[in-house]
Amino acid sequence: MKAKHPITNNEVFKTIATVSPEEILAAGGATAFGVKTGKNSETLKKALKNFPEPEPFTEEEWASLVEQMANDK
C-alpha cells in the first residue's frame, strides 16, 4: 500500500536539533527562546494550515487496526 503523502516528505517532517533546558533558560525562557529562534505560535499555525488533509482509513486498514488493538490488550 502506497501513501499519498509519505512520512518522509521533507517539507512536513524536518530534522530538528535538540535543545537543553539550560539553553532555553540562558536565552531568557521559553518565549524569549522562541522569539530568538523564529519559532512562535504564528509560524506553527501557518505550518498546520499548509499541512495536507489527513486521509481516512480504508475499511481494510480500520479492520487491521481494530484487530491489532484487540490483540495488544
Question: Which of 42, 56, 43 has its CA nearest to residue 14?
Answer: 43
In this predicted structure, what is the pLDDT of residue 10?
54
Q: What is the pLDDT of residue 7?
A: 52
Give SS3 for 54.
coil
Q: Is the pTM of this model over 0.85?
A: no
C-alpha cell at 48: 498546520
- pLDDT tens digits, residue range 22-73? 988 998 988 888 888 888 888 888 888 888 888 899 999 999 999 999 998 7
> What are phi and psi for residue 55, nearest 5 degrees?
-95, 135
In this prediction, residue 1 has a pLDDT band, given cuts at 50, 70 and 90, of very low
User: How far is residue 71 from each of residues 64, 65, 67, 68, measured CA to CA in Å?
Assistant: 11, 10, 6, 5
| CA–CA distance, 67 with 69 (Å, rounded to integer) | 5
Domain layout of the chain by residue ranges: 1-73
Q: What is the mean pLDDT of residues 13-29?
A: 83
